[in-house]
Chain A
Amino acid sequence: MFNRQKYLYIFWLIILVSTISAQSTEYFYHKNPGNSTEGDAVELSIMLLKDQPVSQGSIFFRPIGELSYQEIHLRQDGLSWYGEIPKEQVLSPGIEYVIIMDMPYGAKLSAPLNNDPFDAPLTISVRKKITQKEFGQINKISKSKVISDVLVLSPEAGSFIRPEDVVIAVSTFNSPNIDSTKYTVLIDGKDFSDFAILEQNILSVTPNDLDIGLHTVQLNFITTYGIEIEPIIWSFTITKSMVNVVEQLLYKGNINSLASNNSASGSSINEAEINGKLSAELSWIKGRVNFRKTSRESEFLQPLNRTTTSLFITDYLKIEYGDVYPSISPYIIDGKRIRGQLIDIHLPFFRLQTISGKLNETVQYQDYTNGGYTLLGDATVTDSTNFTKYYMSRTGYTFPREVNVIKLSFSMFNKIKAGLHVMKAKDDKNKVSKSISDKIEFSVDSLGYGIEAGDYTFNSFNSAVLAQGDTIIFPDHNWSGNSPEDNLVFGFDFESAMDNRKLLFQMGWNMSFYNTDIWNDEMTLAEMDTTLDDSLDGFIGKIYNDDGSIGESSFSPIDTLTLPSPSNYKDIFTINTNMIPLSPIDIRAMEENIMAAYVNMPSSAFFFRLKGHYSFNNLLVEYRQVGPQYKSLGNPYLTTNIREFNLNNRISVLERKLSVVFGYQYKDNNISYTTVEPLRTTKYSMNFTLVPGPGAPSIVVNIQSSKKNNDIDSLTVDTAGDYLSDPREKTQALNTLLSVNLPASFGKNFNNISISLNSIKYSDLLLSERRPDYFFSKTNSTTLSANISSRFSIPLKTNLSFNQTNLEIPYRDSSDVIMIKEMQWRSVGIGGQYGIFENRLQIRCGADVLSSEGSEGNINLYGGTLGLNWSIINNLSLNFSSNIRLNHSQFLKTDGLDNNSDGNIDEFGESFSVNTSGAIFTLGYKF
């Protein structure tokens, strides 16, 4: 039953198709070709079914959309008549045509067969020319071959690759009409088609048995219309190693010279600089040199010049010399410059990193008065015989800081990683001279000891002192400038990957020893004894009662005779009374809780981190603590005295278009046993980020609530119990953000519009308990900003920005009444870049205005920029940029003062002043 129905359907379908595509009447049979291709001639025919007395026949045709028809005469061949529409007239989207056969006595026979065939002509749909549209840049080579827009993805034509990197891949994405079932892949003429995969416009082959040398790939395709495509042919070379040293040497680089002038608040800086880089590669070895030389380099500053030479030998060895920027750990050194050398041996299961050099270079003195010597006036003494001792010291110096870092890491199958690291940094106090250039002066005040006040060099002062029969005391160390320091930091990292690396556990622990003053070298055991427990009894930790009897202690006293002398370790760390910590463990904390005392060692820093990537969740659980006495000179700005707990989960949904982040953070500074008023911060946050995809608007919503509590629950009062102040802090800050980024394309013009609204509101959670005169000093703010950046089809780029910030600043007025001052900052900026001479000369300019409305009046800052980038010849370019910023304070013109010190009061222009200005020229060459 089902089969019969199916066959009936097929039968009627055939009938229908025949009816549509053919004009079959009792007089003639004509088959409409249906469709054709732009640029291909169309042959039409009509066969008379009866012997009709036809005198001639014509085709009247016109491209669709045209008004008039063109005529072509048919030629007769038996009962059939033929005609060809010329290829020039076969245009997309199609052709309308009518065939007219002339009969005797003015009779006509037409296809289509009706009274007025020109009202309903037959049509042929014409595809766009394959060679231009459907296959991109296609030109017809011959009648049977076209060139297609097939992208060679790998390997690049003419490239040199290693045997293991041979992947032949092409994309037919831009040639959708390629027949994915009929193709051949030939490599050096050998057919690899059976090893190729062509799926969804990607053809990929990975041949494994190609020899070293030149190889040629040929791909043969046909279109779905059966048209053969011009073969895609390209060559590449497989090399194993240094087949030919000269051929494999690749290099590139650039060199730039720069001259600039910048002024700010009347101070001007001129600078000339030359910088460049050169990188070269020879198969398995790569080298790179970067340098910068500046006219600002000075013996009185830390080096501003930079030179780095890097050598990479395969992926396993890296050697850098010069200015290196190692990143070992945030707790040790993390990108701080070291002038020295870095060696990084990186093997699959083992890694060794060593860095040695200087964090600081020697600076002997500063080139200004009191920049090298200083007279310690307060220390000057005169004895009863009127003999005066003048005490002098050195200033303005910086000790060279030697640093050595080593990190040893192991990894096992990408599952476990562990590393140990040590950093030693120490100032070399012997490299700064006591005696410096005699041109350096120091000031002498009126001491009343006979020496005239004024500026002296050391020799002139010494002569004056000796002339009076007095003396100068100038010690060899303990100068009044910076003290030499010593630092030892060590620690370890550990990582364990579980569940196929979806779950990562990471931890690290570090300990620091920091000596703030090593002028006096290491201490003796006796000094250690008195330093740690106040009594010189040969024991550390032995406590005595007032009557001299031995008191109780939580741990056994240590006999100093059993301890090694600190001098044994002087090369590792200088142990003396200036070291931090004096004792790694807080002894008072040990009496409370031994475990807590070890965990909270004031000079330790550690973290635990758990990261999970499951389903749509990215989970982070982290605890980190940095003790109040932790110090690494390799990362001196690390925030200390902090412990925090973070819980974060980022959920990605809607095919990662929407991510929602829930966050919790707790932070305090309650590490030390002695902290009395810890500040606790608790933060809850939620973030929604919608990024649907390229070209679509993205939206960010962020809400964050942050509470601070300093654990103080009472007011400060004087001895009489009268109120002095309210030090309690229990506040909440609510930070909300809405940001929309809207890309918009209009034809070939692309615009990006971003709008954001940010609000920070503070509230006092103890408001109901406060006295009426309590001053809550937090400032609320609301910021609205918008930016429109546009790129046009002509080489023009523009940027328009607007920003408005409203502030609510609490203050006390002259009557001590608490008021709110509302301020508004508003800025508008516009900038653009236009390219001329085929974009070889790009001109940039911009202007902006920042206005501030306050109670004292308006202050406006006007800014302007102008620049150009000129590609002079192929690799030589000149860049110029300049800027100026003017300050306009309206009230300066009405304040009755001579603000610009020109003798006139409140004249025109007094309210204007140049705030900053600058100009930079750069000439660069690439090779």
Chain B
Amino acid sequence: MMSHKMKSIIFVIVLVISSSLFGAKIAVATKVNGTVELQKVGERDFGKLKPGTILDDGDRIRTGSMAFAAIIFIDDKSTLKLKENSEIVVTGKRSAASIAKKIDIDEGTLRAIVTDQRKGEFIIQTPTSVASVKGTDFWLIVNESEGDQVLGLEGIVNLLNIETGLNLDVTEGNTGTSTPDGQVNIDETNTSNIPIDPEDDESEESQIRIYFEGPNGEQKSLLINYR
């Protein structure tokens, strides 16, 4: 007969294990194009990622050729957009006020639109670098053998090379590179190198102005703002 103490210990262990296997909900996939797969935390196999899927702490996402995925974090709408042939692990520790987010990416291209974090930072770790961000919009191109490129669109990204500890701030209009041999460098962005965002411009506001002419020749215009 199992003692009450033993039962309690088993209960606590099961609780801890289950909480680590079935992580906290932290984000939701809002757009999926092409082959995008999801490996739920604690599972061995990949399944298809569908739009609307709720992502747990520790979930792994990978995109195939010509694929695209967008995920949004639930605390502040920080957005990650994954381009083709990319693989990330999404981790986030929930507190009452926010989610501390960390993305591990081994290879691929992503865009991070990070809202000003209420606490701490948003970290992206690659085999070569650690990028710390706070209120930033940037592209990150990760290549395990050639290193990382951060193309700053807005705000500041701190890029730390883990081989040498060298770090620099990448600002808007500049590209920071971090290479496996330990070097970091910054240069003006060649705009042709900025990846295409399939969702780009969808949220940009535009205007249509329609002119009306009355019977007496007076003109009035109707201005429509739309996104």
Contacts and interface: CB of A to CB of B under 8 A. Distances in A.
Nearest to B196: A312
B74 interface: yes
A171 interface: yes
Contacts of B20: 655
Contacts of A277: 191
Interface in B202-216: 202-204, 206, 208
Contacts of A155: 30
A48 interface: no
A695 B119 contact: yes
Contacts of A197: 54
A201 B102 contact: no
A754 B119 contact: no
A745 B66 contact: no
Contact of B193 (A202, A325, A613, A698): A325
B190 interface: yes
A199 interface: yes
A197 B198 CA distance: 27
Contact of B208 (A161, A247, A251, A741): A247
A315 interface: yes
Interface string A618-636: 1010100000000000000
A164 B198 CA distance: 14
- The range of chain B's interface size is 35 or more
Contacts of B183: none
A618 B127 CA distance: 10
Given A158-B226, A201-B25, A323 B192 contact: yes
Given A702-B163, A752-B132, A694 B192 contact: no
A53 to B, nearest CB: 53
A250 B204 contact: yes
Interface in B111-141: 117, 119-123, 125, 127, 130, 132, 134
B121 A251 contact: no
| Best-buried of A200, A251, A787 by chain B (most CB within 10 Å) | A200
B174 interface: no
Contacts of A250: 201-202, 204, 206
Given A201-B74, A204-B52, A169 B25 contact: no
Contacts of B226: 158, 247
A918 B58 CA distance: 49
Nearest to B225: A158
A202 B35 contact: no
Contacts of A698: 130, 160
Contacts of B166: 756
Interface in B135-166: 144-146, 158, 160, 162-166
Interface in B60-118: 62, 64-66, 68, 72, 74-77, 87, 89, 91, 93, 96, 99-102, 104, 106, 117
Contact of A169 (B30, B62, B122): B30
B200 interface: yes
Interface in A274-313: 277, 279, 281, 286, 290, 308, 310, 312
Interface string A170-201: 01011010000000000000000000010111
B47 to A, nearest CB: 11
A756 B165 contact: yes
A739 interface: yes
A414 B100 contact: no
B30 A167 contact: yes
B120 A695 contact: yes
Interface in A233-274: 246-247, 249-252
A414 B202 contact: no
A830 interface: no
Nearest to B74: A171
A440 B121 CA distance: 61
B102 to A, nearest CB: 5
A741 B160 contact: yes
Nearest to B50: A206
Contacts of B146: 330
A652 B100 CA distance: 19
A807 interface: no
Interface in B1-54: 20, 24-25, 28-31, 33, 35, 45-46, 50-54
A307 to B, nearest CB: 10
Given A158-B227, A308-B192, A693-B120, A656 B91 contact: yes
A700 interface: yes
Given A167-B30, A741-B167, A159 B203 contact: yes
Contacts of B64: 414
Given A173-B75, A758-B165, A694 B158 contact: no
A346 interface: yes
A650 interface: yes
A501 interface: yes
A202 B46 CA distance: 23
A66 to B, nearest CB: 29
A206 B52 contact: yes
Contact of B165 (A622, A700, A743): A700
A42 interface: no
Contacts of A758: 164-165
A151 B193 contact: no
Contacts of B53: 204
A295 B33 CA distance: 44
B104 A693 contact: no
B92 to A, nearest CB: 9
A737 interface: yes
Contacts of B120: 693-696, 743, 745
A562 interface: no
Given A156-B227, A252-B201, A500-B46, A199 B25 contact: yes
Nearest to A204: B52
A452 B104 CA distance: 73
Contacts of A252: 201, 204
Contact of A694 (B50, B122, B145, B193): B122
Given A252-B201, A279-B201, A325 B104 contact: no
A153 B74 contact: yes
A502 B227 CA distance: 41
A911 to B, nearest CB: 32
A687 interface: yes
Nearest to B107: A611
Given A159-B202, A250-B204, A202 B100 contact: no
Interface string A649-666: 010100110010100000
A246 B208 contact: yes
Contacts of B100: 693-695
Nearest to A740: B165
Nearest to A195: B52
B200 A618 contact: no
A695 B97 CA distance: 14
Contacts of A754: 160, 165, 167
26 contacts: A151-B76, A154-B30, A161-B202, A166-B51, A167-B51, A200-B25, A204-B53, A250-B202, A279-B201, A315-B68, A330-B146, A414-B35, A613-B106, A687-B162, A691-B102, A691-B130, A694-B120, A695-B119, A696-B120, A739-B162, A739-B164, A741-B167, A745-B120, A754-B165, A758-B165, A787-B167
**10 closest Cβ contacts across the A-B interface?**
A739-B165, A695-B120, A756-B165, A694-B120, A171-B74, A200-B25, A154-B30, A206-B52, A694-B121, A167-B51
Interface of A: 151, 153-156, 158-161, 164-169, 171, 173-174, 176, 197, 199-202, 204-206, 246-247, 249-252, 277, 279, 281, 286, 290, 308, 310, 312, 315, 320, 323-325, 330, 335, 346, 348, 411, 414, 417, 500-501, 611, 613, 618, 620, 622, 650, 652, 655-656, 659, 661, 687, 689, 691, 693-696, 698, 700, 702, 737-739, 741, 743, 745, 750, 752, 754, 756, 758, 787, 789
Given A156-B203, A687-B163, 16 more contacts: A151-B76, A171-B74, A200-B25, A200-B54, A279-B200, A286-B200, A308-B191, A310-B192, A620-B144, A689-B162, A693-B91, A694-B120, A698-B160, A702-B162, A739-B162, A756-B166
